[in-house]
Amino acid sequence: MPLLDPKTWQPRPLSGPEYAVTEPATGDTLASATRASAADVGPAAEAARAAQAEWA
């Protein structure tokens, strides 16, 4: 799936709380995002290590 396809990010890849991403000038909500939790760090580091071998 393409990176910008919303289906790529469902279900959300992180387990922390969701928060609103806002436009500072207007206060409008642009999107929602999920904060990483401590439990997300190990899997993220492993995924980065595995991916690095493909492009380095």
Amino acid at 15: S
Distance CA 36, CA 22 (A): 18
pTM above 0.75?
no
User: 3-state class of 2 per DSSP?
Assistant: coil
Cβ-count burial of 7 within 10 angstroms (0-12 exposed, 13-18 middle, 19+ buried)?
exposed
Would you write out the chain's pLDDT as a tens digit for each of its 56 residues?
A: 576 777 766 666 677 888 999 999 999 999 888 888 888 889 889 988 988 988 77
DSSP string across 7-21: GGG-S-S--S-EEEE
* CA 45 – CA 38 distance, rounded (Å): 12
pLDDT of 47: 86
